Structure 1
Protein backbone atom coordinates (compact mmCIF):
# COMPACT_ATOMS: atom_id res chain seq x y z
CA UNK A 1 0.00 0.00 0.00
CA UNK A 2 3.03 2.30 0.29
CA UNK A 3 2.80 5.46 -1.79
CA UNK A 4 -0.88 5.08 -2.64
CA UNK A 5 -3.29 8.03 -2.47
CA UNK A 6 -6.15 8.18 0.04
CA UNK A 7 -8.85 10.85 0.33
CA UNK A 8 -10.69 11.26 3.64
CA UNK A 9 -13.70 13.53 4.09
CA UNK A 10 -14.35 14.80 7.58
CA UNK A 11 -10.59 14.50 7.98
CA UNK A 12 -10.04 17.42 10.33
CA UNK A 13 -11.11 15.78 13.59
CA UNK A 14 -12.22 12.58 15.27
CA UNK A 15 -11.99 9.31 13.39
CA UNK A 16 -11.12 11.03 10.11
CA UNK A 17 -8.12 12.76 11.62
CA UNK A 18 -6.92 9.60 13.37
CA UNK A 19 -7.27 7.54 10.19
CA UNK A 20 -5.37 10.15 8.15
CA UNK A 21 -2.44 9.95 10.56
CA UNK A 22 -2.64 6.14 10.73
CA UNK A 23 -2.47 5.84 6.94
CA UNK A 24 0.26 8.47 6.65
CA UNK A 25 2.35 6.56 9.19
CA UNK A 26 1.96 3.42 7.06
CA UNK A 27 3.19 4.85 3.78
CA UNK A 28 0.07 6.40 2.29
CA UNK A 29 -0.21 9.92 0.92
CA UNK A 30 -3.44 11.37 2.24
CA UNK A 31 -5.68 14.28 1.26
CA UNK A 32 -8.02 15.44 4.02
CA UNK A 33 -11.18 17.40 3.31
CA UNK A 34 -13.39 19.35 5.68
CA UNK A 35 -14.90 22.79 6.04
CA UNK A 36 -12.24 24.32 8.28
CA UNK A 37 -8.79 24.95 6.80
CA UNK A 38 -7.14 25.41 10.20
CA UNK A 39 -8.04 21.96 11.51
CA UNK A 40 -6.96 20.33 8.25
CA UNK A 41 -3.62 22.13 8.43
CA UNK A 42 -3.18 20.85 11.99
CA UNK A 43 -3.61 17.26 10.74
CA UNK A 44 -1.03 17.86 8.02
CA UNK A 45 1.39 19.32 10.57
CA UNK A 46 0.97 16.28 12.87
CA UNK A 47 1.76 13.78 10.10
CA UNK A 48 5.17 12.85 8.66
CA UNK A 49 6.32 15.71 6.47
CA UNK A 50 4.69 15.84 3.06
CA UNK A 51 2.32 12.92 3.63
CA UNK A 52 -0.94 14.79 4.31
CA UNK A 53 -2.45 17.53 2.12
CA UNK A 54 -5.28 19.80 3.28
CA UNK A 55 -8.02 20.27 0.66
CA UNK A 56 -10.92 22.24 2.20
CA UNK A 57 -14.44 21.71 0.85
CA UNK A 58 -18.02 21.36 2.04
CA UNK A 59 -19.25 17.91 1.04
CA UNK A 60 -22.86 19.10 1.00
CA UNK A 61 -21.86 21.13 -2.09
CA UNK A 62 -21.53 18.79 -5.08
CA UNK A 63 -19.56 21.23 -7.22
CA UNK A 64 -17.11 21.91 -4.38
CA UNK A 65 -16.67 18.17 -3.77
CA UNK A 66 -15.95 17.53 -7.44
CA UNK A 67 -13.44 20.38 -7.47
CA UNK A 68 -11.70 18.97 -4.38
CA UNK A 69 -11.22 15.63 -6.13
CA UNK A 70 -10.02 17.34 -9.30
CA UNK A 71 -7.45 19.27 -7.24
CA UNK A 72 -6.25 16.17 -5.39
CA UNK A 73 -5.82 14.10 -8.52
CA UNK A 74 -4.08 16.89 -10.43
CA UNK A 75 -1.61 17.52 -7.59
CA UNK A 76 -1.12 14.08 -5.99
CA UNK A 77 -2.32 11.56 -8.55
CA UNK A 78 -5.29 9.19 -8.91
CA UNK A 79 -7.19 8.47 -5.71
CA UNK A 80 -6.83 4.79 -4.78
CA UNK A 81 -8.96 4.93 -1.62
CA UNK A 82 -11.84 7.28 -0.82
CA UNK A 83 -13.04 7.18 2.80
CA UNK A 84 -16.31 9.11 2.92
CA UNK A 85 -16.39 9.86 6.60
CA UNK A 86 -17.89 13.36 7.06
CA UNK A 87 -20.61 13.19 9.69
CA UNK A 88 -22.58 15.13 12.28
CA UNK A 89 -24.64 14.06 15.28
CA UNK A 90 -26.98 15.75 17.74
CA UNK A 91 -29.17 13.96 20.28
CA UNK A 92 -32.72 14.16 18.93
CA UNK A 93 -36.03 13.92 20.76
CA UNK A 94 -39.44 13.78 19.08
CA UNK A 95 -40.82 16.33 21.54
CA UNK A 96 -38.73 18.90 19.69
CA UNK A 97 -39.06 17.42 16.20
CA UNK A 98 -37.37 19.68 13.68
CA UNK A 99 -37.36 18.83 9.98
CA UNK A 100 -34.46 21.18 9.33
CA UNK A 101 -32.30 19.35 11.86
CA UNK A 102 -33.15 15.99 10.26
CA UNK A 103 -32.39 17.32 6.79
CA UNK A 104 -29.11 18.87 7.95
CA UNK A 105 -27.93 15.52 9.34
CA UNK A 106 -28.88 13.71 6.15
CA UNK A 107 -27.19 16.38 4.02
CA UNK A 108 -23.80 15.73 5.64
CA UNK A 109 -23.94 12.06 6.62
CA UNK A 110 -25.69 10.63 3.57
CA UNK A 111 -25.74 13.17 0.74
CA UNK A 112 -22.15 14.16 1.50
CA UNK A 113 -21.11 10.56 0.88
CA UNK A 114 -23.17 10.45 -2.32
CA UNK A 115 -21.34 13.57 -3.52
CA UNK A 116 -18.02 11.90 -2.72
CA UNK A 117 -18.95 8.84 -4.76
CA UNK A 118 -20.02 11.05 -7.65
CA UNK A 119 -16.67 12.85 -7.57
CA UNK A 120 -14.32 9.83 -7.46
CA UNK A 121 -16.29 7.29 -9.47
CA UNK A 122 -15.54 8.52 -13.03
CA UNK A 123 -11.77 8.16 -12.53
CA UNK A 124 -12.03 4.82 -10.74
CA UNK A 125 -14.41 3.49 -13.38
CA UNK A 126 -12.03 4.53 -16.16
CA UNK A 127 -9.05 2.93 -14.39
CA UNK A 128 -11.15 -0.08 -13.33
CA UNK A 129 -9.57 0.13 -9.90
CA UNK A 130 -10.09 1.89 -6.60
CA UNK A 131 -11.71 1.47 -3.22
CA UNK A 132 -14.69 3.42 -1.85
CA UNK A 133 -15.40 3.18 1.89
CA UNK A 134 -18.55 4.57 3.50
CA UNK A 135 -18.25 5.36 7.20
CA UNK A 136 -21.59 4.36 8.68
CA UNK A 137 -22.13 3.21 12.28
CA UNK A 138 -23.53 0.37 14.37
CA UNK A 139 -26.33 2.91 14.95
CA UNK A 140 -27.44 2.04 11.43
CA UNK A 141 -28.33 -1.54 12.37
CA UNK A 142 -31.60 -0.51 14.07
CA UNK A 143 -33.28 2.71 15.13
CA UNK A 144 -31.85 3.83 18.47
CA UNK A 145 -33.26 6.22 21.10
CA UNK A 146 -32.14 9.85 20.72
CA UNK A 147 -30.68 9.06 17.30
CA UNK A 148 -33.50 9.23 14.76
CA UNK A 149 -31.73 11.37 12.11
CA UNK A 150 -28.34 9.81 12.80
CA UNK A 151 -29.55 6.20 12.74
CA UNK A 152 -31.57 6.89 9.58
CA UNK A 153 -28.58 8.41 7.79
CA UNK A 154 -26.29 5.56 8.80
CA UNK A 155 -28.82 2.88 7.82
CA UNK A 156 -29.08 4.58 4.44
CA UNK A 157 -25.30 4.38 4.02
CA UNK A 158 -25.26 0.66 4.80
CA UNK A 159 -28.00 0.01 2.24
CA UNK A 160 -26.23 2.23 -0.29
CA UNK A 161 -22.98 0.32 0.10
CA UNK A 162 -24.71 -3.06 -0.12
CA UNK A 163 -26.54 -2.06 -3.30
CA UNK A 164 -23.56 -0.46 -5.02
CA UNK A 165 -21.26 -3.41 -4.34
CA UNK A 166 -22.94 -5.46 -7.06
CA UNK A 167 -22.05 -2.88 -9.72
CA UNK A 168 -18.71 -1.86 -8.22
CA UNK A 169 -17.52 -5.47 -8.30
CA UNK A 170 -18.11 -5.52 -12.06
CA UNK A 171 -16.23 -2.24 -12.42
CA UNK A 172 -13.16 -3.45 -10.51
CA UNK A 173 -13.88 -1.13 -7.56
CA UNK A 174 -13.79 -2.37 -3.97
CA UNK A 175 -16.56 -1.37 -1.58
CA UNK A 176 -16.39 -1.14 2.21
CA UNK A 177 -18.89 -0.09 4.84
CA UNK A 178 -17.29 0.89 8.16
CA UNK A 179 -19.50 0.54 11.25
CA UNK A 180 -17.76 1.85 14.36
CA UNK A 181 -19.28 1.63 17.80
CA UNK A 182 -18.66 4.32 20.42
CA UNK A 183 -15.30 6.04 19.87
CA UNK A 184 -13.88 8.90 21.96
CA UNK A 185 -14.34 11.86 19.60
CA UNK A 186 -15.90 15.35 19.74
CA UNK A 187 -19.05 13.75 18.29
CA UNK A 188 -19.55 11.23 21.09
CA UNK A 189 -18.61 13.82 23.72
CA UNK A 190 -22.18 15.12 23.26
CA UNK A 191 -23.63 11.91 24.67
CA UNK A 192 -24.93 12.18 28.23
CA UNK A 193 -25.26 8.44 28.82
CA UNK A 194 -22.75 5.66 29.55
CA UNK A 195 -21.31 4.39 26.26
CA UNK A 196 -20.61 0.64 26.29
CA UNK A 197 -17.25 -0.58 24.97
CA UNK A 198 -16.02 2.99 24.38
CA UNK A 199 -12.86 2.89 22.23
CA UNK A 200 -9.88 5.16 21.91
CA UNK A 201 -9.79 6.89 18.54
CA UNK A 202 -6.34 5.55 17.64
CA UNK A 203 -7.54 1.97 18.20
CA UNK A 204 -10.51 2.65 15.92
CA UNK A 205 -8.24 4.08 13.21
CA UNK A 206 -5.99 1.03 13.42
CA UNK A 207 -8.97 -1.31 13.02
CA UNK A 208 -10.15 0.70 10.03
CA UNK A 209 -6.76 0.64 8.31
CA UNK A 210 -6.36 -3.10 8.77
CA UNK A 211 -9.85 -3.80 7.47
CA UNK A 212 -9.36 -1.53 4.46
CA UNK A 213 -6.02 -3.07 3.56
CA UNK A 214 -7.64 -6.53 3.70
CA UNK A 215 -10.45 -5.34 1.43
CA UNK A 216 -13.25 -6.30 3.81
CA UNK A 217 -16.77 -5.23 2.88
CA UNK A 218 -17.91 -4.65 6.47
CA UNK A 219 -15.41 -3.30 8.98
CA UNK A 220 -17.20 -3.22 12.33
CA UNK A 221 -15.89 -2.81 15.87
CA UNK A 222 -15.69 -3.39 18.80
CA UNK A 223 -16.84 -6.97 18.40
CA UNK A 224 -18.86 -7.35 21.63
CA UNK A 225 -21.00 -4.32 20.78
CA UNK A 226 -21.31 -5.33 17.12
CA UNK A 227 -22.43 -8.86 17.98
CA UNK A 228 -24.91 -7.58 20.55
CA UNK A 229 -26.52 -5.11 18.17
CA UNK A 230 -26.60 -7.59 15.32
CA UNK A 231 -28.45 -9.97 17.63
CA UNK A 232 -30.89 -7.17 18.48
CA UNK A 233 -31.42 -6.66 14.74
CA UNK A 234 -32.76 -10.21 14.49
CA UNK A 235 -35.35 -9.73 17.24
CA UNK A 236 -39.02 -9.11 16.45
CA UNK A 237 -40.27 -5.67 17.40
CA UNK A 238 -42.31 -7.12 20.28
CA UNK A 239 -39.00 -8.02 21.95
CA UNK A 240 -36.72 -5.31 20.57
CA UNK A 241 -38.61 -2.27 21.88
CA UNK A 242 -39.02 -3.48 25.49
CA UNK A 243 -35.38 -4.60 25.67
CA UNK A 244 -34.10 -1.30 24.28
CA UNK A 245 -36.30 0.69 26.66
CA UNK A 246 -34.94 -1.30 29.58
CA UNK A 247 -31.35 -0.88 28.41
CA UNK A 248 -31.56 2.86 27.77
CA UNK A 249 -34.33 4.06 30.05
CA UNK A 250 -36.10 5.74 27.12
Structure 2
Protein backbone atom coordinates (compact mmCIF):
# COMPACT_ATOMS: atom_id res chain seq x y z
CA UNK A 1 0.00 0.00 0.00
CA UNK A 2 1.20 3.51 -0.80
CA UNK A 3 -0.34 6.81 0.14
CA UNK A 4 0.26 10.46 -0.61
CA UNK A 5 -0.48 13.11 1.97
CA UNK A 6 -2.18 16.41 1.21
CA UNK A 7 -2.68 17.87 4.69
CA UNK A 8 0.07 17.55 7.31
CA UNK A 9 0.69 18.83 10.84
CA UNK A 10 4.35 18.86 11.87
CA UNK A 11 5.72 19.73 15.30
CA UNK A 12 9.39 20.38 15.89
CA UNK A 13 9.50 22.04 12.48
CA UNK A 14 12.49 24.22 13.46
CA UNK A 15 14.91 21.36 14.08
CA UNK A 16 17.13 19.60 11.57
CA UNK A 17 14.77 16.71 10.83
CA UNK A 18 11.73 18.96 11.18
CA UNK A 19 12.96 21.44 8.58
CA UNK A 20 13.83 18.60 6.21
CA UNK A 21 10.36 17.08 6.63
CA UNK A 22 8.71 20.46 6.13
CA UNK A 23 10.61 21.15 2.92
CA UNK A 24 9.86 17.68 1.58
CA UNK A 25 6.13 17.88 2.37
CA UNK A 26 5.84 21.36 0.89
CA UNK A 27 7.72 20.26 -2.24
CA UNK A 28 5.23 17.41 -2.65
CA UNK A 29 2.31 19.85 -2.65
CA UNK A 30 0.96 19.26 0.85
CA UNK A 31 -0.66 21.91 3.01
CA UNK A 32 1.43 22.02 6.19
CA UNK A 33 0.85 23.34 9.69
CA UNK A 34 4.34 24.27 10.86
CA UNK A 35 4.63 24.05 14.65
CA UNK A 36 7.77 25.15 16.47
CA UNK A 37 9.27 27.81 18.72
CA UNK A 38 11.60 29.81 16.44
CA UNK A 39 9.30 32.10 14.50
CA UNK A 40 11.82 33.27 11.84
CA UNK A 41 12.61 29.66 10.88
CA UNK A 42 8.91 28.81 10.60
CA UNK A 43 8.24 31.92 8.54
CA UNK A 44 11.07 31.06 6.15
CA UNK A 45 9.62 27.59 5.64
CA UNK A 46 6.09 28.94 5.18
CA UNK A 47 7.40 31.37 2.54
CA UNK A 48 8.09 28.36 0.30
CA UNK A 49 4.32 27.99 -0.18
CA UNK A 50 2.47 30.69 1.77
CA UNK A 51 -0.90 29.71 0.37
CA UNK A 52 -0.51 26.19 1.81
CA UNK A 53 1.23 26.81 5.14
CA UNK A 54 0.42 28.25 8.53
CA UNK A 55 2.78 28.95 11.41
CA UNK A 56 2.16 28.17 15.09
CA UNK A 57 4.38 28.62 18.16
CA UNK A 58 2.71 26.81 21.10
CA UNK A 59 4.48 24.87 23.82
CA UNK A 60 3.71 21.29 22.75
CA UNK A 61 3.21 20.29 26.40
CA UNK A 62 0.37 22.84 26.75
CA UNK A 63 -2.76 20.92 25.81
CA UNK A 64 -4.97 24.02 25.59
CA UNK A 65 -2.51 25.74 23.25
CA UNK A 66 -2.25 22.62 21.08
CA UNK A 67 -6.04 22.30 20.90
CA UNK A 68 -6.27 25.94 19.81
CA UNK A 69 -3.66 25.30 17.13
CA UNK A 70 -5.54 22.26 15.88
CA UNK A 71 -8.87 24.08 15.78
CA UNK A 72 -7.37 26.94 13.77
CA UNK A 73 -5.64 24.62 11.31
CA UNK A 74 -8.71 22.47 10.70
CA UNK A 75 -10.81 25.61 10.17
CA UNK A 76 -8.31 26.63 7.49
CA UNK A 77 -7.47 23.34 5.82
CA UNK A 78 -9.73 20.60 7.19
CA UNK A 79 -8.72 17.43 8.99
CA UNK A 80 -5.13 16.35 8.37
CA UNK A 81 -4.18 12.99 6.90
CA UNK A 82 -0.70 13.12 8.48
CA UNK A 83 0.26 14.28 11.97
CA UNK A 84 3.95 14.04 12.90
CA UNK A 85 4.88 14.51 16.55
CA UNK A 86 8.52 15.41 15.96
CA UNK A 87 9.16 17.98 18.71
CA UNK A 88 11.97 16.79 20.96
CA UNK A 89 14.87 17.88 23.14
CA UNK A 90 17.98 16.04 24.30
CA UNK A 91 20.61 16.51 26.95
CA UNK A 92 22.81 14.78 29.47
CA UNK A 93 21.41 13.84 32.87
CA UNK A 94 22.96 13.12 36.27
CA UNK A 95 20.67 11.86 39.03
CA UNK A 96 23.09 13.16 41.67
CA UNK A 97 22.47 16.75 40.52
CA UNK A 98 19.32 18.41 41.89
CA UNK A 99 19.14 20.81 38.92
CA UNK A 100 18.86 17.87 36.55
CA UNK A 101 15.50 16.83 37.97
CA UNK A 102 14.04 19.82 36.13
CA UNK A 103 15.73 18.53 32.97
CA UNK A 104 14.04 15.15 33.35
CA UNK A 105 10.65 16.74 33.99
CA UNK A 106 10.87 19.06 31.00
CA UNK A 107 12.17 16.35 28.68
CA UNK A 108 9.25 14.11 29.59
CA UNK A 109 6.85 17.01 29.00
CA UNK A 110 8.18 17.72 25.52
CA UNK A 111 9.26 14.30 24.24
CA UNK A 112 6.46 12.18 25.71
CA UNK A 113 3.50 14.33 26.75
CA UNK A 114 4.05 16.49 23.68
CA UNK A 115 3.21 13.58 21.38
CA UNK A 116 -0.10 12.96 23.14
CA UNK A 117 -1.06 16.65 23.09
CA UNK A 118 -0.18 16.71 19.38
CA UNK A 119 -2.32 13.72 18.45
CA UNK A 120 -5.31 14.22 20.74
CA UNK A 121 -7.06 17.13 18.96
CA UNK A 122 -6.98 15.36 15.60
CA UNK A 123 -7.95 11.75 16.37
CA UNK A 124 -11.73 12.13 16.10
CA UNK A 125 -11.55 14.17 12.89
CA UNK A 126 -9.10 11.75 11.28
CA UNK A 127 -11.27 8.78 12.21
CA UNK A 128 -14.24 10.51 10.62
CA UNK A 129 -12.22 11.13 7.50
CA UNK A 130 -11.28 7.41 7.56
CA UNK A 131 -7.65 7.79 6.56
CA UNK A 132 -4.34 9.10 7.78
CA UNK A 133 -1.35 8.42 10.00
CA UNK A 134 -0.25 9.52 13.46
CA UNK A 135 3.56 9.46 13.52
CA UNK A 136 5.73 9.66 16.63
CA UNK A 137 9.45 10.35 16.28
CA UNK A 138 11.12 8.30 19.02
CA UNK A 139 14.75 7.17 18.99
CA UNK A 140 17.03 4.15 19.12
CA UNK A 141 17.95 5.61 22.53
CA UNK A 142 14.52 4.51 23.70
CA UNK A 143 15.36 0.85 23.13
CA UNK A 144 17.79 0.63 26.03
CA UNK A 145 19.18 2.98 28.67
CA UNK A 146 22.58 4.63 28.27
CA UNK A 147 24.74 6.14 31.03
CA UNK A 148 24.44 9.89 31.39
CA UNK A 149 21.42 9.95 29.09
CA UNK A 150 18.69 8.72 31.41
CA UNK A 151 16.23 11.55 30.85
CA UNK A 152 16.31 11.26 27.07
CA UNK A 153 16.23 7.46 27.06
CA UNK A 154 13.31 7.44 29.50
CA UNK A 155 11.33 9.95 27.46
CA UNK A 156 11.87 8.12 24.17
CA UNK A 157 11.32 4.69 25.73
CA UNK A 158 8.06 5.97 27.17
CA UNK A 159 7.08 7.35 23.78
CA UNK A 160 7.67 3.97 22.15
CA UNK A 161 5.40 2.27 24.69
CA UNK A 162 2.77 4.99 24.31
CA UNK A 163 2.76 4.53 20.54
CA UNK A 164 2.46 0.75 20.96
CA UNK A 165 -0.59 1.28 23.16
CA UNK A 166 -2.14 3.77 20.76
CA UNK A 167 -1.52 1.43 17.84
CA UNK A 168 -3.39 -1.34 19.66
CA UNK A 169 -6.28 1.01 20.39
CA UNK A 170 -6.48 2.11 16.76
CA UNK A 171 -5.93 -1.32 15.23
CA UNK A 172 -8.55 -2.24 12.67
CA UNK A 173 -9.43 1.41 12.15
CA UNK A 174 -8.58 3.74 9.27
CA UNK A 175 -5.80 5.66 11.03
CA UNK A 176 -2.30 4.17 11.25
CA UNK A 177 0.11 4.73 14.13
CA UNK A 178 3.77 4.85 13.15
CA UNK A 179 6.85 4.65 15.38
CA UNK A 180 10.00 6.20 13.92
CA UNK A 181 13.29 5.40 15.67
CA UNK A 182 16.18 7.43 14.27
CA UNK A 183 19.73 6.60 15.18
CA UNK A 184 22.16 9.50 14.86
CA UNK A 185 21.14 12.37 12.60
CA UNK A 186 23.40 15.31 11.81
CA UNK A 187 21.40 17.95 13.71
CA UNK A 188 21.87 20.41 16.56
CA UNK A 189 20.81 17.70 19.02
CA UNK A 190 23.87 15.59 18.16
CA UNK A 191 26.37 18.35 17.39
CA UNK A 192 27.76 18.35 20.93
CA UNK A 193 28.06 14.57 21.30
CA UNK A 194 31.51 13.44 22.39
CA UNK A 195 31.07 9.78 21.48
CA UNK A 196 31.06 7.72 18.29
CA UNK A 197 27.89 8.02 16.20
CA UNK A 198 27.79 5.06 13.80
CA UNK A 199 25.51 5.42 10.82
CA UNK A 200 25.28 9.22 11.12
CA UNK A 201 22.56 10.26 8.67
CA UNK A 202 21.79 13.56 6.96
CA UNK A 203 18.36 15.01 7.85
CA UNK A 204 17.23 15.34 4.21
CA UNK A 205 17.90 11.65 3.56
CA UNK A 206 16.18 10.72 6.81
CA UNK A 207 13.10 12.78 5.92
CA UNK A 208 12.77 11.16 2.51
CA UNK A 209 13.18 7.64 3.93
CA UNK A 210 10.72 8.36 6.72
CA UNK A 211 7.99 9.71 4.44
CA UNK A 212 8.51 6.83 2.00
CA UNK A 213 8.06 4.31 4.80
CA UNK A 214 4.91 6.01 6.08
CA UNK A 215 3.47 6.13 2.56
CA UNK A 216 4.11 2.38 2.16
CA UNK A 217 2.13 1.66 5.31
CA UNK A 218 5.03 0.69 7.59
CA UNK A 219 4.32 1.02 11.30
CA UNK A 220 7.95 0.82 12.49
CA UNK A 221 10.72 2.76 10.78
CA UNK A 222 14.40 2.82 11.82
CA UNK A 223 16.74 5.44 10.34
CA UNK A 224 19.07 4.18 8.97
CA UNK A 225 17.87 0.57 8.96
CA UNK A 226 21.31 -0.90 9.66
CA UNK A 227 21.49 0.92 13.00
CA UNK A 228 18.41 -0.98 14.09
CA UNK A 229 20.14 -4.28 13.39
CA UNK A 230 23.24 -3.15 15.29
CA UNK A 231 21.13 -2.10 18.28
CA UNK A 232 19.31 -5.43 18.28
CA UNK A 233 22.60 -7.33 18.21
CA UNK A 234 23.92 -5.30 21.16
CA UNK A 235 20.73 -6.01 23.07
CA UNK A 236 21.44 -9.75 22.75
CA UNK A 237 24.50 -9.31 24.98
CA UNK A 238 24.15 -10.13 28.68
CA UNK A 239 23.10 -7.03 30.59
CA UNK A 240 26.29 -6.80 32.62
CA UNK A 241 28.48 -6.94 29.49
CA UNK A 242 26.32 -4.43 27.65
CA UNK A 243 26.51 -2.02 30.60
CA UNK A 244 30.28 -2.45 30.85
CA UNK A 245 30.72 -1.57 27.17
CA UNK A 246 28.58 1.55 27.48
CA UNK A 247 30.11 2.70 30.76
CA UNK A 248 33.35 3.64 29.04
CA UNK A 249 31.64 5.90 26.51
CA UNK A 250 31.78 9.70 26.98
CA UNK A 251 28.60 11.09 28.50
CA UNK A 252 26.31 13.50 26.67
CA UNK A 253 26.92 17.13 27.77
CA UNK A 254 24.63 18.31 30.56
CA UNK A 255 22.79 21.62 30.54
CA UNK A 256 25.31 24.41 31.06
CA UNK A 257 28.26 22.36 29.77
CA UNK A 258 30.06 22.97 26.48
CA UNK A 259 28.21 21.30 23.61
CA UNK A 260 24.86 21.04 25.43
CA UNK A 261 21.73 21.90 23.47
CA UNK A 262 19.24 24.35 25.00
CA UNK A 263 16.03 22.99 26.51
CA UNK A 264 13.09 25.37 25.97
CA UNK A 265 11.18 26.34 29.08
CA UNK A 266 14.03 25.85 31.54
CA UNK A 267 15.80 28.58 33.49
CA UNK A 268 19.61 28.60 33.32
CA UNK A 269 21.19 26.03 35.65
CA UNK A 270 22.22 27.12 39.12
CA UNK A 271 25.85 28.25 39.30
CA UNK A 272 27.39 26.69 42.43
CA UNK A 273 29.95 29.50 42.54
CA UNK A 274 27.25 32.18 42.89
Instruction: Report the TM-score when normalising by structure 2.
Output: 0.85
How far, CA to CA, are the matches of 2:115 and 2:243 in structure 1?
30
Q: How does 1:24-35 map to 2 (within 5 A)?
A: 24-35=26-37
- TM-aligned CA distance change 1:158 to 1:77, over 3 Å: same
Q: Report SS of the residue matched to 2:172.
A: helix
Are the counterparts in 2 of residues 19 and 206 from structure 1 also a CA contact under 8 Å?
yes
Q: CA RMSD in A?
A: 1.8
Q: Give how far 1:49 is off.
A: 5.1
Question: Which structure is richer in relative contact order (CA contacts within 8 A, separation 6 or more)?
Answer: 2
Show the counterpart of 1:69: 70
Q: Give how far 1:142 is off.
A: 0.3
Q: Report SS of the residue matched to 1:171.
A: coil
Q: Which runs of 5+ in 2 are unaligned?
A: 252-274
Q: Does 1:93 align with 2:94?
A: yes
Show the counterpart of 2:196: 194
Show the counterpart of 1:11: 13
Are the counterparts in 1 of residues 5 and 81 from structure 2 also a CA contact under 8 Å?
no
Q: How does 1:1-250 map to 2 (within 5 A)?
A: 4-45=6-47, 47-48=48-49, 50-97=51-98, 98-246=100-248, 248=249
Q: Which runs of 5+ in 1 are unaligned?
A: none
How far, CA to CA, are the matches of 1:115 and 1:71 in structure 2?
15
Q: Report SS of the residue matched to 1:50.
A: coil
Q: Give how far 1:48 is off.
A: 4.3
Are the counterparts in 2 of residues 130 and 174 from structure 1 also a CA contact under 8 Å?
yes
Q: Which one has the bigger helix percentage?
A: 1
How far, CA to CA, are the matches of 2:128 and 2:5 in structure 1?
21
Q: Give how far 1:203 is off.
A: 0.8
Query: How many matched pairs?
Result: 248
Q: Give how far 1:90 is off.
A: 1.1
How far, CA to CA, are the matches of 1:120 and 1:230 in structure 2?
34
How far, CA to CA, are the matches of 2:138 and 2:69 in structure 1?
22
